[in-house]
Every structure is written in C-alpha cells, then in structure tokens.
Structure 1
Amino acid sequence: MNIYNEASDTAHPKQGLRLSDIPAHDPFVVADRESGTYYLYTGSGPQLHGMKRCGVVTYKSADLRHWEGPYVVFTVPDGVWANPRHGAWAPEVHAYKGSYYLLVTLHNNDRRLPDSPLIPMPNHWRGTAVAVSSSLEGPFELLQPDGPAVHSSLMTLDGTLYIDEEGRPWMVYCHEWIQMRDGTVEAVPLRADLSRAAGEPVHLFQASEASWDTAERTPGVEGSIYVTDGCQLYRTRGGHLVMLWSSYDQGQYVQTQARSVSGSLKGPWEQLEPLVRGDSGHGMLFRTFEGTWMLILHQPFPMPDSRCKLYEMEDAGDRFRVVAAREDLHG
C-alpha cells in the first residue's frame, strides 16, 4: 500500500519519532494485525503540520515506541459543506463491511445557525462527517458533501461508530454545550452505507449527571456550563457496555467512563469514577498485538502542547481500570 500524500499538501513525514515528538489531539489508534502496524490518527492543519488545509494525518509504528509520519490520509475538499480551513477534529477509523470508514468532526464557521438563548455565543455548522477508503492509509472520500451525518441544525462533535446487538450501525456523538449549556451524549441510527442519519437522535445522558463534574466557567457566559467530549464504546469481558467520555473538573480535562445499566446502547447510563485526571482526556481503548488493553489520550488539553499518553488497562469485567502509565512509551 502507498501512503496518500498530496504533493500540494504534504505533511513532511519523518522517522524515529517518539510520542513526545508528535503534536496530537483526540488520538485514535488502529492495531492492524495483518500488517503488524499501529496507526495513530489525529487532526491536522496549517499550524500543526504546515498543511494548506485541515484534514487528518496518521503516524505508523510496529512497537508503540518508534513512530514515523505524519502521512496525510484526508483533507477537507473544496465545494463541500465544511470549510477546509476551519478545523478537523476527533478522527477515528473503523473497519465495516470490507471498507474503512473515517469519522471526523468538520466545521464551517461562516454558516451561522440561530444563536441559543442559553449561551450568548455564535452558533455555526459543526458536525461529524463520514468518509470511506479501501485502505487504512487513505485517501478517504466524503460520503455526503452537502452536510454532516447528523442534522446540520445541531452543533455536534466527536461522533463514533457503534454496531448494536442486531448488527445495526449507530453514530454516538456529543451535542455541544454551546447550544445546550449542559452538554449531552446522543445516538442516532445510520443508513446501511453510514453516510447519514436514518432516524431521530436518542438521548443517552448529560454531562451534569456525573457527580464529580464541577462544571466550567467561560468568559462572557453567565452561569456554569457542562461539557461532553470524546465518546467511545466497548463491551467488557463480563458483557457490560462501557462508554469512555471526557469533561471538566476543577478547570481541568478529565477522562472518565459510564456504564449502561441495561447493557444496551439506550441505557440508562450510570456514571463511574474518572480514570485519569491531570488535564487528560478524549481517550480510546485498543488491544496491543500481545492482547493487552491500552488507553491512549492527550495531555494537556491545549494545542499545540498536547501529546499522546499511554496507559496499560485492565478489563475488570464491569468497567475498565488503569494498571499503569506507560511512561516508557510516551516519555
């Protein structure tokens, strides 16, 4: 396979990188057993990688210690609903029915929405788009050029793919606090080709349900806000459905988890204690080639200083637990 790397929008890949060398936000790892390669996906743009437009890059590693990249796998094209220079957040790649699907949150700050009466901040188009490729290395092409998968009237982000017990695809995503004040996690059924929603959203929970969440204060906004970020779903060895997600406590980003009481996507959901604090979050879980569960997240929150951190994890049957920070890997 050849890495997609447009000559007009190169990201200048290098070898011999450590995670501490890689500027990354909202990281997502695919462990590809066929090639023996870990793919680390993260959003990109002019400030991070010198690209002319926003998109997604990947880094490759055989051992989680030595990396090479970045390699461009997707850039926001002209002539679509999103603006190529307004951001590409929270990319993740899933294998589904013989292809690879990229979910990435795109933006168009110039396409205004009615402002929310709850928050005196500008509302604009923001939502997760879906793109497809025959390769983990891209290029990925948008399935729907005229709008995000969830209705464009909703400011949504961080969509993830979930396949339910009947094999039906869903997008689970966060509804922005900018519209809600108390951010939520929602789920919407997808069409068979994953291009867009195939029904109405289902409410799962809101950020304030976490007892530890002390809320945030934002300049120009009266009162507290509650943030939902980075939802990811996993089934434990005990059959429990667990969701990773992130919010804020005492002004710092927090990686936490929730658990479905019923074991199904629609819940109800109960909030568990945070996994990692210290301004850390938007994590996801993957298994190493040796079978060990690993959590990757970014720390600290602000770009361009954020870097990937790795934690060895335990599947405790009804939740996940941190075993140890892998400082030998992330520096």
Structure 2
Amino acid sequence: MAMIKNTQLQIRDPFVVPVVEEGQYYLFGSTDTNIWGKGTGFNVYVGRDLLEWEGPYAVFRPEADFYAENNFWAPEVHKYEDRYYMFATFRRKDNDLLGTAVLVSDSLLGPFTPHSEGPVTPKDWCSLDGTLFIDEEGLPWIVFCREWQQVADGQVCAVRLTKELKGTIGEPVVLFSASQASWPTAFQHTRYPGQDNYVTDGPSMYRTGTGVLLMLWASFINNTYALGVATSVSGTVLGPWVQEEEALFRSDGGHGMLFHAFDGSLMLAVHTPNQTPNEQPLFLKIEEMAGKLRVIGM
C-alpha cells in the first residue's frame, strides 16, 4: 500500500491515538470528501512518524437503518475499560439536529458499531463535537458544544455520562459562552439579521504535568478559524473556566487536540486551512510551562 503524505490527505478534526506498544499513531477525523452533505462513514490512517500514513481503513459505515445520513463529523476514539469508544457527531433524520453519539469497537481498526441509542447530547439541542472526559473520581463526562445557530453565542457544555457510556446523568451545565473570551469575533448571518453570532467548536481536555486542567476550543477571528485555551480554576470539569487573552493558533486552523509523540514531545493536531476540500492535518510542537501552552514549531 502506497504511503500518503499529510499534504495529500484531506481530513478535518484530526484526532490522534498513539499506541506505544506498536510504535504507531492512529489518525481519525472527518474523512468524507464533502462533510457538509451525505455521510459515508469514518476512516482511520496508520503511521509511525506523523509525516506519512497507510490507509484509509474503513472503521465505520452506517447500516441502512442508521438514525443519520448527513454530516458525519469529528470522531474521537478513547480507550475506556478495555474497549475503544468513538464519540462522533451526526445530524439526526428525525429532527434535523446535530448530536454526539457513542460507538464502540474492540479494535482501533474497527468496525465501530452504535453503542448509545442515538446521540447522548440533549435531543432538542443542536450539539456537536462531544469529547470524553474522565474526572478525578474516575467518572465519565461528555464535554460538547451547543451550536450558535440555536443560541447565537455558542456554548461549551458538560454533562455526566452513565458508567457504560450509553446515556447521561442529570442536566447539562453551560461551562462558558464564546463571547466570554476576548479573542473570538462576532459574525453576521443572513438568516439572523442584526444578530451577533459566535462559534464554539471542538472542545478537547488536557491536564498538564502539574495538574492544571486545560481546554482547547475553536472559534473565528475576523472569519478566520482559530484555536484558544481555557483554564479550570478549580481543576475540575465544572470550572469556573478562565480564558487566555490571545489565541494559541490563528492561521486558519483549529479543532485541536494534544497528544504525546513517541519521543515525549507534546504535539498539537489541527486541520488547516478550514476550507473544503483543502483541509489537511497539521502537527505542531507545544511547550508547556507553568500551566500555559505555546507553539514552538513543526
């Protein structure tokens, strides 16, 4: 199988799972040629150096009775209690709203099959980009975005998950709205004349070596995709969350996540540019110091 370079790979919302025992990285993401239309499924790519990849390998293809047919977005894969759980966003057929559902597999190569009964995010909310977070007591949460199209000022929310990751416990909590950060800018939309809108995308949790809980999340600066960082004052998922004044990355890239390369380097994965079909994965080295993050190179 021919190797595929990052510059040849169309992918959004990249999510990397390093497997030390294999010396391999598994790269998931939104892999449909046109993610804004009918969904085909999700693929994974496998590589050893973050430069070239084998694949694509199909890891999810919906059955005929699947509850969604459009907008298959942002698959994240987390190992939890000896199985692999995929958190992915789909647009439901029954109400045309986005929601994050949970799929499961015994292998990173799939196949992943539906685990939750549809999305675990609220049925009447337009929600996307859910990520799994395990708290200091070992309890699972989903952290996700409520889309600006419903609330104008996009939100990042959290709700407890049941132990088996099939449903939720209690009501969602709004952690913050996009406009609470100083770096995103508002935009207008013809569908909502006169209304200032702010985007929240792709929350991703990371605890530093000193125990500081950080969250990456994406928005826009003058219509250009960008990535920011928030810090939990309490060190818990419920915050309160304090926003960094400046974006971490603002060169038309975002929906980021952090992982450690096999040489120990802290790496940031984003997609850039933010235009279909030109989006590609980009991997940046990150310096972590005193609970803060800084991009230091490719």
For this structure pair, what is the TM-score category when the shorter chain's length is used for normalisation?
over 0.9
How far, CA to CA, are the matches of 2:218 and 2:173 in structure 1?
19
Superposition deviation, residue 254 in structure 1 = 0.5
How far, CA to CA, are the matches of 1:318 and 1:45 in structure 2?
36
Q: Which residue of 2 aligns with 1:5?
A: none
Q: Which residue of 1 aligns with 2:285?
A: 312
SS at match of 1:111: coil
How far, CA to CA, are the matches of 1:212 and 1:95 in structure 2?
33
How far, CA to CA, are the matches of 1:60 and 1:170 in structure 2?
28
Letter of the structure 2 residue corresponding to residue 126 of structure 1: L
Structure 1: gaps of 5 or more residues:
1-13, 113-123, 327-331
How far, CA to CA, are the matches of 2:25 and 2:292 in structure 1?
25
How far, CA to CA, are the matches of 1:182 and 1:207 in structure 2?
6
Which residue, out of 135, 138, 155, partners 2:110?
138
Superposition deviation, residue 46 in structure 1 = 5.7
How far, CA to CA, are the matches of 1:209 and 1:154 in structure 2?
21
SS at match of 1:199: strand
1:126 matches 2:121: no
Structure 2: gaps of 5 or more residues:
none
Q: Which residue of 1 aligns with 2:81?
A: 97
How far, CA to CA, are the matches of 2:270 and 2:33 in structure 1?
22
Letter of the structure 2 residue corresponding to residue 77 of structure 1: E
State the Cα deviation string for residues 105-141 of structure 1 (Å, max 9, x = none).
Answer: 0113x433xxxxxxxxxxx221001011111110111
SS at match of 2:153: coil
Judged with a 3 Å threshold, the aligned counterparts in structure 2 of structure 1 residues 307 and 46 are, in CA distance, closer, same or farther, namely: closer
Superposition deviation, residue 209 in structure 1 = 0.4
Which residue, out of 257, 271, 278, partners 1:298?
271
1:230 matches 2:216: no
SS at match of 2:66: coil
Superposition deviation, residue 267 in structure 1 = 0.6
- Percent identity, aligned pairs only, is 43
* More strand, by proportion: 2
Q: Which residue of 1 aligns with 2:7?
A: 20
How far, CA to CA, are the matches of 1:187 and 1:216 in structure 2?
25
1:38 matches 2:25: yes
Is 273-282 or 165-174 further displaced after alignment? 273-282
SS at match of 2:167: coil
Contact kept, 8 Å, 2:12 with 2:31, in 1: the verdict is: no
Is 193-202 or 165-174 further displaced after alignment? 193-202
Q: Which residue of 2 aligns with 1:111?
A: 94
Contact kept, 8 Å, 2:10 with 2:31, in 1: the verdict is: no
SS at match of 1:217: strand
Contact kept, 8 Å, 1:82 with 1:106, in 2: the verdict is: yes
Give the RMSD, CA atoms, in angstroms. 1.4
Q: Which residue of 2 aligns with 1:204?
A: 175
Aligned runs of 1:164-179 on 2, under 5 Å? Answer: 164-179=135-150
Letter of the structure 2 residue corresponding to residue 229 of structure 1: D
Contact kept, 8 Å, 1:182 with 1:225, in 2: the verdict is: yes
- Count of aligned residue pairs for this structure pair: 294
Judged with a 3 Å threshold, the aligned counterparts in structure 2 of structure 1 residues 283 and 248 are, in CA distance, closer, same or farther, namely: same
